[in-house]
Amino acid sequence: MAQVARAANAGLTLLYWNVGKHIRQDILKNKRAEYGEQILPTLSAKLVPEYGQGFSRRNLSRMIQFVEAFPDGEIVQTLSGQLSWSQFVEILYLDDKLVFDSWTTSAAVVGQTRMALDAAAHKVVLEHHGRPRWNRMQFQLGINRSGTVVDAEAKKLAARADVVVLAAGFDPGSESEGADRTFSLPPGQDELIQEIAAANKNTIVVLTSGGNVAMNAWLARVPALIEMWYPGQEGGRALAEVLFGEVNPSGRLPVTFERRWEDNPVHDSYYPAAGTKRVVYKESVFVGYRGYEKNGTKPLFPFGYGLSYTTFKYSNLDIKTIASGDTNPRYEVSFDVKNTGSNEGAEVAQVYLGDTHAKVPRPAKELKGFTKVSLRAGETRRVTVPLDGRALTYYDANRKQWRADAGDFQVLIGRSAEQIELRGKLTLATTLTIGNSLQKK
């Protein structure tokens, strides 16, 4: 089901288009633009095997070309290379300055950067090595002036519509298994969203992606955002049903959406250190939402987040000890959920536990259970989430066993990792261990 991140208007005349249709194709396809030869042609035909066939059984080639820049203004430069199973890598220099580098790490299928160039000839050097396997080797380099990407007809069409549904995001050409992708949207899409939203304030952005993207440039300018992930062939039908109010969205984010890629707890250690092939998991147990909370970083949308066309209220928390043995204690966490809005909808109630007395560093809270409940308008239902002893434990690396220290644990009931509605506690009477301790050997 589609994930709604901001409330959407339904029931109006909708205009739907795909992002690629309204970004100027003369730029995307590297054809001659109306203002002259300002786009580099496809480079695959210009690569000459200058160094022969001797580099690890792969072709090693270099292309050197001089290109006239625009008279003034910023430049958006995109480089995309594709070859099956990451058998193609490249490095690009502009005026002898490094611009793109995927020689050792495939950081992005499609890369882009923005820079200012003067009105003169500029030296472009592209080096690559690779060899085709099942697919042909292809890559493209384009340079275009910022502010010229969006089709003028698209803006006129948007201004006349009641509502614009703008589909943006990635496809197999910009997000794949063989390489990472940029945190930013593919070239031209941020500009498209900004200009269409300026032409029509009722612009709903629909994202197709495998994860979060940079949204700060336009999120505050649009009233609605829907994360579709990769929904398959029935995704269009699901989207239409959500937008027209036939289905009340109830999806929740299974990950945290950061404001910037730099905010992610793994940003500084995601790739191998220079000169190595070793990646260190420096975040330890503070993975995902646990790391954001530890670092005091407020995300754009927290783990477990999602909106609905109705509202819910939580109350009457009760925590019962069902079994208190020292081998497998069991608990039941019960509470009421009420649909306080005017539409039928489903809520995903999340149960987090916090351990403040453990002998090792632990996250402030961790998700230990959840339940989804569908409610008619005004309906209240009591729900119960069971917890066992394993939900209390952490892994003791010294003893090679799972362990929970005796004491009180916080019980937090929320709509997301940030929006906590109810608080309580449960008590573990004696220390719990699961597995064999090294001391017993």
pLDDT tens profile 356-399: 998 899 999 999 999 999 999 999 999 999 999 999 999 998 88
Q: How far apart (Å, rounded) are the C-alpha atoms in residues 47 and 34?
A: 26
For the cut 70, the answer to whether the pLDDT of residue 226 exceeds it is yes
CB 30 within 8 A of CB 40: yes
Helix, strand, coil percentages (3-state) for the chain, rounded to 5, are: 15, 40, 45
Assigned fold of 3-23+150-247: Rossmann fold (3.40.50)
Q: Per CATH, the architecture of 312-440 is what?
A: Sandwich (2.60)
Number of other CB atoms surrounding residue 417 within 10 Å = 25
Backbone angles phi, psi at 137, to 5 degrees: -80, 130
Question: DSSP string spanning 191-250?
Answer: HHHHHHHHH-S-EEEEEE-SS----TTTGGG-SEEEE--S--TTHHHHHHHHHTTSS---
User: In this structure, which CATH number among 2.60.120, 1.10.260, 1.20.1740, 3.30.1490 belongs to the domain 25-145?
Assistant: 2.60.120
pLDDT of residue 439: 38
- pLDDT tens, position by position, 147-156: 778 889 999 9
For the whole model, what pTM was predicted?
0.82
Half-sphere exposure in the Cβ direction for 256 (13 Å, CA): 23
Confidence at residue 113, expressed as pLDDT on a 0 to 100 scale:
82
CA distances in angstroms from 87 to 74, 78, 140, 182, listed in the order given: 32, 20, 16, 19
CA quadruple 16, 22, 23, 26: dihedral, nearest 10: 150
- Helices (runs of H) and strands (runs of E) counted in the chain: 5, 22
Q: What is the pLDDT of residues 268-317, one digit of tens each?
A: 999 888 888 888 889 999 999 999 999 999 999 999 999 999 999 999 99
Location of structure tokens 């099942």: 134
Supply 282's token pair.
């420096």
- Of 54-58, 177-181, 411-415, highest mean pLDDT: 411-415
Q: Which residue has the higher pLDDT, 320 or 91?
A: 320
How many residues does this entry show for the chain? Answer: 441
Domain ranges of the chain: 3-23+150-247, 25-145, 312-440
